[in-house]
A and B are shown apart, each in its own frame.
Chain A
């Protein structure tokens, strides 16, 4: 029987990495993700996990080390947060283009300035166009599950892509919750060993990351884009297998909470969905037909699934925990893709966005109540007055 324990998001990630039998780990400290590496290094020292633990001299080195490890055929694991995610930036595209299915755990943190340590999705969101798979968890349990799911999907021969598995810093990474662990036998059934298609080898020498010519650039990009056409199928298969083996009930792409008859809906990712869900319940008690769609994957973006889930709603509010300064809506990132996703519907919902939880601020139930008020007004007036509302700065 799988054990149940009280674990923080960081501990849950480490436990899952251990069960995935990662072979090479490269660390560099930055809070809040550091706790994952603190757990893993203990496991290696105690002989619970047979892995090579490398101390990187920075995040750029961390990703370089795991790239090399993956090229040799090892299952590799690394992670970072905030500005650390930024320092590693050069490696993201070559890692995806070279098709190295390493996993990077991110416990989201703000960038500098203000460098206030708080949770914010901007660090990972800026990597969204580099060809990585990106998933967001909203509980330590989901962190544990997504770690295993990430490897399974990323290492699928049809995919072979690195995965950035994100959790909100502090709200998930440092708050303990009940986590149902897994038996090694279950994990072995779900996650076959990693097999690199062309590993670095002395007997069969290959060149990784060679210079290509300009006329090879376009086909390379097209091939990288093509992979993402196949990924949703693999995510669906892997999630179905995961649900069967570990007895869970995940929807592959979206958590759809009370959406069937919803008139207003929140569109959200990450930890604040927990408060959002509670507020949806409270709103329902007040007679408001509210619902919530929570993104489990940002890359690949589940376009058709979102359109199907939200098409009938009158007003949708994207709850943004990342910034896109000067972007089309002058707010966050989610609204751009949400609006684009809904554009082709005949009778599309009105869409606005709420900047909330920036700098690590808590998004309180009252904040969601305020958002609901705005959404209800939009639905009543049949128009969106504004693209973006900044929670905490919207006086009556």
Chain B
């Protein structure tokens, strides 16, 4: 007769350390300070409001939701703190309204920060 084999035991992860199922979390409906990524940027998109047709292509293609439409002013607005400088919006803009400008050209260019975000 065979003897009793070892068991696997149970793994008890205390509640305060447990991770949500599949690491799925409620989506942040607002910006999160922990994930500011603008310090990755070496260029930024600069908009020419004359050329812009408000087609919202930049709004659709931005992976970090950095473009939004200001209805009151009737113009596109760019949020600096999450733009990684990937230039997708520049590439996709059908009216050539966006230009990549090096961060060094700006007073608040992210490369000049004393410490990264």
Contact = CB atoms under 8 A, between A and B. Distances in A.
Report whether chain A binds chain B: yes
Interface of A: 97-100, 160, 197-198, 205-212, 215-216, 218-220, 222-223, 225-226, 229, 303-304, 307-308, 311-312, 344-347
Contact of A198 (B2, B17, B18, B22): B22
Contacts of A347: 2
Given A98-B22, A198-B21, A344-B5, 4 more contacts: A197-B21, A209-B23, A215-B17, A226-B13
A47 B29 CA distance: 40
A99 B2 contact: no
A219 B13 contact: yes
Contacts of B11: 222-223, 225-226, 229
Give the 6 A-B residue pairs with the shortest CB-CB distance, closest first.
A205-B27, A99-B22, A311-B2, A198-B24, A226-B11, A98-B22
A98 to B, nearest CB: 5
Interface residues of B, number: 21
B10 interface: yes
Interface of B: 2-3, 5-6, 8, 10-11, 13, 17-19, 21-29, 35
B5 A345 contact: yes
A198 B3 CA distance: 44
Nearest to A226: B11
Interface class of chain B by DSSP: loop
B19 A212 contact: yes
6 contacts: A100-B22, A198-B21, A205-B29, A208-B22, A311-B2, A345-B3
Contacts of A222: 11, 13
Given A219-B13, A303-B5, A207 B22 contact: no
B5 A307 contact: yes
B36 to A, nearest CB: 13
A223 B13 contact: yes
Nearest to A229: B8
A96 to B, nearest CB: 9
Contacts of B22: 97-100, 160, 197-198, 208
Contact of B24 (A98, A215, A303): A98
Contact of A304 (B5, B21, B23, B25): B5
A207 B13 contact: no
A228 B54 CA distance: 52
A229 B27 contact: no
A346 B1 CA distance: 9
Nearest to B9: A229
Contacts of A207: 24-28
A130 to B, nearest CB: 15
A372 to B, nearest CB: 24
B74 to A, nearest CB: 26
A100 B24 CA distance: 11
Contacts of B13: 219, 222-223, 226
A330 B28 CA distance: 51
A170 to B, nearest CB: 36
